[in-house]
Amino acid sequence: MSTTTTQTIDQLAAAAASAAPIWRASSASQRAGWLRGIADALDANIDELVAIADEETRLGETRLRGEVGRTTGQLRLFATVVEEGSYLELTVDDADATATPPRPELRRILTGVGPVAAFSASNFPFAFSVAGGDTASALAAGNPVIVKAHSGHVRLSHRTAEIVTEALRAGGAPEGSFSLVEGREAGNALVQHPTIQAAGFTGSISGGRALFDLATGRPDPIPFYGELGSVNPVVITSAAVAARGETLAQGLVGSFTMGVGQFCTKPGVVFVPAGAGFEDLVASFATSSTGGPLLTDRITDAFPEGIAHLEADASVAVVAQGEEPAAGSARPIVLSTDAVAVAARPETLLEECFGPVTLLVRYSNEAELLSALEAVTGSLTATLHSEDGDDVDAVLEVLQRKAGRVLFAGWPTGVAVTWSQHHGGPWPATTSLHTSVGATAIRRFLRPLTFQDAPERLLPESLRDAALETLPHRRNGVLRVP
């Protein structure tokens, strides 16, 4: 993989800086049109894109076609978000000379931060990549974007970038609206470039932390929105095992092996009641599960090392393994330990292992369960499978502190792209409190701006009285929805 030179990065950044005021001032219809234009162009080229992606990632046509659909769907969602307008948080306080102290007229809006750096992920070559959620939400917020391509799918990154660039150009967006850079050094330089005002990242804890430190260590620190590691704890009660144990076991196996265990929402640690027979149920389904090739050589090499790290702990045993894989593929594996060991050695037993593996943790009572749960670091998701008669208040309180999304049915793999979705969590799941999926992902790339006693003609269009009549806003403390 080649590396973009510092000179080229400077040129791309300068173009983005020139485009930024145009994006910031663009109307809702313009911006929504640009987003839908990108989506339409990606859909029109889906056959070519999927073929390239399958060659580079080996994820398969079915999965990749679905991911293109998710990618274009979220671009269209953000077009709707822009048109609806509540994301602007428009707020007006009229002047009041009788107030103590006297109050000037204040009008507040959220506006684009400026050029954004987006870092492509390995495990979602479309939805979290060149035209993925970070790019879509940053553009929707009114910002140019410079994407750092992932080394795992370079050809796809280039072709996707060409399609996005042409779609924006065809729609009349300014030059500098979107560009692509390559190489780790280029990524480091990008996040430190004075033109860049925010960055979005999905990847490893080590890689994300390094970039986070660069972003916050700048002379002018910028927000770095990183989605990093997550073990996504699951708690299953005795009553749930008794009522639907076989269904739960089958669902767990399907979830931790989905995408060969390379989803950031994979259930990596599952707390199960001791003596309830759940391990045997999981084994009955896991033995017939199939693995597959992993995304990159680095991930392929790291998977057996991660398994060996877990198995080195005296408390860990193998519950079951999937079918023998072809050469170069990962074999699903289910491991087990106990809650006492997890509470004592979380740095070993709760380390994320990327690939088709899950760890069953036996607990004998609520005290053991709660102690082990407290040792779990922040995650994107937490899942609770219980029955109506279960007293789970204490467990639920811990899970709410540990994760950004709490599930009570199903499994965490699969993230709906909606208005209410939250894909984030306490460190190390993310470096912030914001989501990288769903409508409110746009909030990462906006900043508040208040105008005091501004002439109407100098206000942003959305803050003028005529526009406010058509947009959700708060005036003198009263929420108004047209």
For the record, the structure tokens of 406 come out as 């709490």
Regions of the chain with pLDDT less than 70: 1
Which listed residue (56, 67, 182, 264) is catalytic? 264
pLDDT at 1: 65
DSSP 216-278: HTSSS---EEEE------EEE-HHHHHHHHHHHHHHHHHHHTGGGG--TT---EEEEETTSSH
Q: What is the distance between the alpha carbons of residues 101 and 311, in angstroms, rounded to a whole number?
A: 67
pLDDT at 47: 98
Which listed residue (56, 67, 182, 227) is catalytic? 227
CATH numeric code, 234-407? 3.40.309.10
For the record, the structure tokens of 124 come out as 């979602």
CATH architecture, domain defined by 6-228+431-480: 3-Layer(aba) Sandwich (3.40)
What value does the CA radius of gyration of the chain take, rounded to a whole number of Å?
24
Phi-psi region of 176 (alpha: psi -120 to 50; beta: other; left: phi over 0): left
Which contiguous run of DSSP H or E holds residue 204? none
In tens, the pLDDT along 240-261 reads: 999 999 999 999 999 999 999 9
The single-letter code of the amino acid at 480 is R
pLDDT at 327: 83
SS3 state of residue 454: coil
177 Cβ contact list (under 8 Å, min separation 6): 16, 19, 23, 34, 139, 144, 145, 165, 168
Tell me which residue has tokens 């973009």.
4
Intervals of CATH 3.40.605.10 along the chain: 6-228+431-480
Intervals of CATH 3.40.309.10 along the chain: 234-407
Active site residue 264: yes
Is the separation of the CB atoms in 199 and 211 below 8 Å?
Answer: yes
The single-letter code of the amino acid at 252 is L
In tens, the pLDDT along 18-58 reads: 999 999 999 999 999 999 999 999 999 999 999 999 999 98
Which contiguous run of DSSP H or E holds residue 317? strand 317-321
pLDDT at 2: 84
Q: Could you tell me the strand order of the sheet in which 333-338 lies?
A: 317-321, 333-338, 357-363, 269-273, 234-236, 379-385, 403-407
Active site residue 227: yes
Secondary structure, 3-state, 389-435: CCCCHHHHHHHHHHEEEEECCCCCCCCCCCCCCCCCCCCCCECCCCC
Checking DSSP bridges between strand 292-293 and strand 329-330, what pairing results, if any? antiparallel
